[in-house]
Amino acid sequence: MAYKFEISKDKAGEFRVKFKAPNGEVMFSTEGYSAKASAKNAIESMKKNGPDAETDDTTD
């Protein structure tokens, strides 16, 4: 099994993207989107921009 993005619909009828680890654990989820296309765009944006994203540790 591999990491994967999952699009689901919540109780309010909004589309959410979950990023899941190979063991099925949800690592993060997005805000709700009214259109499925917006959820798919969010996935593409994360794939495109994520590899070079910086880590901002604000706990210091």
Query: Residue 60 domain-assigned?
Result: no
Is 22 among the domain residues? Answer: yes
Q: Which long-range contacts (CB under 8 A, 24 or more apart) does 43-47 make?
A: 43/5, 43/7, 43/17, 46/5, 46/19
CATH code (residue 36): 3.30.160.160
- Residue range of the domain that includes 21: 4-51
Number of structural domains (the chain) is 1
pLDDT tens per residue, range 44-60: 999 999 888 899 999 98
Q: Model confidence over 12-45: pLDDT tens digits? A: 999 999 999 999 999 999 999 999 999 999 999 9
This prediction's pTM: 0.82
56 is a domain residue: no
Q: Is residue 42 part of a domain?
A: yes
Tell whether 21 is covered by a domain.
Answer: yes
